[in-house]
């Protein structure tokens, strides 16, 4: 999953970055409301926005209002001061999906993040099934016919993206955007290598990663 954090407290932001990256997420960070607004307008590959309301340059509520007015349905988890009940209510009314009052447990935040990003994986369960392939988002474990598949962090990220769009074409550019944080460079050739490695591990029975030459890839189930 790819997450955007909008938080001006650098100590808190660093803690969130470490925690979420350690859980396998691709995470980008901005420290002002105007930067958050610009990032959301130029990148549609995020799975979740973690939004502090007390941001400089543009208040978090204004960021939220603007993105919803554009029709952006990205899940939003707002962060607020413990005593700001009115702001929490406004945030939910403006279209936020959940909130956490500071200070909070990073373990609880990770659980809420997983719950909010499940919608992109197709439901409320933490597991996603594609034929004999089962992926557990919470544990980041993939199994085929009940047997664990050993995947690297990059391969797991690639599998998540393909599962989110199972049956639909995913371009190489989209894969790069979903798998890479700002400043991190991964070439299209590297994507081909990751796809090749993932294929060797999961293409069993009816599961296939189809290549549409010049366009991208599609996770398919083959009907026999």
CB 3 within 8 A of CB 18: no
Residue 98 sits at φ, ψ, to 5 deg, of: -165, 165
Q: Which fold would CATH assign to domain 125-221?
A: Arc Repressor Mutant, subunit A (1.10.10)
* CATH 3.40.50.2300 describes domain 2-120: yes
pTM above 0.75, yes or no: no
Domain limits, CATH 3.40.50.2300, in the chain:
2-120
Quote the strand ranges of 65-193, DSSP E. Answer: 76-81, 98-102, 127-130, 133-136, 141-144, 147-149
Q: Which of 12, 11, 34 has the alpha carbon at shortest distance from 100?
A: 12
Residue 198 sits at φ, ψ, to 5 deg, of: -65, -40
**In this predicted model, what pLDDT tens digit does every residue of 152-210 receive, in sequence order?**
888 888 888 888 888 889 888 888 887 777 767 777 788 889 899 999 898 877 888 99
Mean pLDDT in the chain? 85
**In this predicted model, what pLDDT tens digit does every residue of 96-145 receive, in sequence order?**
989 888 888 888 988 888 888 776 555 556 778 888 888 887 778 888 88
């Amino acid at each position: 999953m790819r997450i955007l954090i909008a938080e001006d407290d650098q100590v808190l932001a660093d803690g969130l970055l470490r925690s979420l990256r350690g859980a396998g997420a691709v995470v980008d960070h901005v420290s002002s409301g105007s930067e958050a607004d610009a990032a959301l307008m130029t990148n549609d590959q995020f799975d979740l926005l973690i939004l502090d309301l007390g941001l400089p340059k543009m208040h978090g509520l204004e960021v939220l209002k603007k993105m919803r007015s554009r029709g952006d349905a990205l899940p939003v988890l707002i962060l607020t001061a413990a005593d700001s009940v009115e702001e929490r209510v406004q945030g939910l009314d403006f279209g936020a999906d959940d909130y956490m009052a500071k200070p909070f447990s990073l373990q609880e935040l990770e659980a809420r993040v997983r719950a909010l990003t499940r919608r992109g994986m197709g439901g409320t369960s933490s597991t996603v099934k594609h034929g004999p392939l089962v992926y557990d988002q919470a544990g980041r474990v993939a199994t085929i016919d009940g047997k664990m598949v050993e995947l690297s962090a990059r391969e797991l990220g690639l599998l998540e993206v393909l599962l989110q769009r199972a049956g639909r074409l995913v371009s190489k550019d989209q894969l790069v955007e979903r798998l890479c944080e700002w400043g991190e460079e991964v070439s299209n050739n590297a994507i081909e290598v990751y796809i090749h490695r993932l294929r060797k591990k999961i293409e069993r029975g009816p599961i296939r990663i189809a290549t549409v030459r010049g366009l991208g890839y599609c996770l398919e189930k083959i009907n026999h």
